[in-house]
């Protein structure tokens, strides 16, 4: 009797959790329609493809097998690689310093009163959303207009949107911590800041460190892109070589960027495995 009575209830609960098929079909139809409508905005004429595009692509691909490995180019590449790495490391480090307090406040875990918690979470989540809504390249242009071509432009342009991303992720992680260990700490007389230090943060530390390392890898690519505005680094050197049609140099700088990302990925992977062990 018990199993027969509970089975329909379980099936009803599962049906409520899963969206109906007609809703999925409607969403698919909307996406396909949007894609089809976007194709009408493409000028499908003779000017869609550059007349000499195939020849340029051939030159670019041919240079891939013969990168410029001269001493002068390698010196420039190493200096640009170091600058890109420094921009990314400083920017993400500042982002972490901003994201930790902002993420804690955005989670609202320090407030026991529901009203105070809701106000804190709403206000700080909105602030974090505003930071990450603006792309780092746009931040870079804004800071260049404000303070000129300074290394601080790259650091701040990376730190602000990445702080918004990291703070939001930390807030969600703190909200999703299991409640049972936290109740035990409160029963022992711990205050909310003690529950945060000894309960919530230790349980999210490994995941948060792993995600921060992943954002560091993304920061290296973003630092290379931002350097196109004239801040130096690998992106700036790639732009100069492209303007002069020196495709062999382009692949040298691109290879340095790939090598830098791979090395950081290998190191961060080792750190994540050690934390999870």
Neighbours of 136 (CB within 10 A): 22
Give the model confidence (pLDDT) of 224-264 as tens digits: 888 777 788 898 899 899 888 899 999 999 999 999 999 98
pLDDT on residue 98: 95
DSSP state of 199: I
**Side-chain-side CA neighbours of residue 274 (13 Å):** 7
Nearest to residue 184, comparing CAs of 204, 173, 206, 200?
200
Q: Which of 210, 208, 177 is nearest to 195 (CA)?
A: 177
Least confident interval from 39-53, 122-136, 149-163, 232-246 = 39-53
Most confident of 55-59, 110-114, 118-122, 247-251: 247-251
Q: How far apart are CA 117 and CA 21, in angstroms?
A: 37
Cα 244 to the center of its chain, rounded Å: 32
Local confidence band at 59 (pLDDT 50, 70, 90 cut-offs): confident
Average pLDDT value over all residues in the chain: 84
What is the arithmetic mean of pLDDT over 18-31?
73
- Tell whether domain 72-276 is in CATH 1.10.3720.10: yes
Q: State pTM to two decimals.
A: 0.77
**Digit-coded pLDDT (tens) for 126-150:** 999 999 999 988 998 899 888 888 8
Name the burial class of residue 74, with classes exposed (0-12), middle (13-18) and buried (19+) by CB atoms within 10 angstroms of its CB. middle
268: pLDDT confidence band, cut at 50, 70 and 90? confident
Distance of CA 134 to the CA centre of its chain: 12
């Amino acid at each position: 009797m018990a199993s027969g009575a509970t089975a329909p209830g379980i099936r009803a609960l599962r049906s409520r959790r899963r969206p109906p098929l007609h809703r999925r079909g409607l969403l698919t139809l909307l996406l396909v329609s949007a894609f089809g409508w976007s194709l009408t905005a493409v000028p499908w004429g003779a000017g869609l493809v550059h007349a000499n595009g195939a020849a340029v692509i051939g030159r670019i691909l041919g240079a891939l097998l013969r990168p410029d490995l001269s001493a002068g180019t390698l010196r420039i590449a190493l200096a640009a690689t170091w600058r890109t790495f420094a921009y990314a490391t400083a920017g993400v480090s500042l982002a972490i310093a901003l994201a930790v307090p902002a993420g804690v406040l955005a989670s609202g875990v320090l407030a026991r009163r529901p009203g105070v918690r809701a106000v804190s979470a709403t206000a700080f989540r909105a602030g974090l959303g505003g930071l990450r809504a603006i792309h780092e390249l746009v931040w870079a242009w804004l800071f260049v207009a404000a303070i000129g071509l300074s290394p601080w432009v790259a650091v701040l342009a990376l730190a602000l949107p990445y702080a918004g991303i990291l703070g939001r992720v930390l807030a969600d992680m703190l909200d999703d911590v299991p409640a049972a260990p936290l109740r035990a700490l409160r029963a022992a007389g711990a205050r909310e800041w003690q529950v945060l230090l000894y309960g919530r943060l230790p349980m999210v530390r490994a995941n948060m460190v792993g995600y921060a390392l992943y954002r560091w890898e993304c920061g290296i690519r973003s630092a290379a892109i931002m350097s196109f505005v004239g801040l130096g680094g690998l992106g700036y050197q790639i732009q100069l070589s492209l303007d002069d049609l020196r495709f062999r140099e382009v692949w040298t700088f691109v290879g340095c960027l790939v090598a830098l990302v791979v090395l950081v990925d290998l190191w961060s992977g080792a750190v994540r495995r050690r934390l999870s062990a």
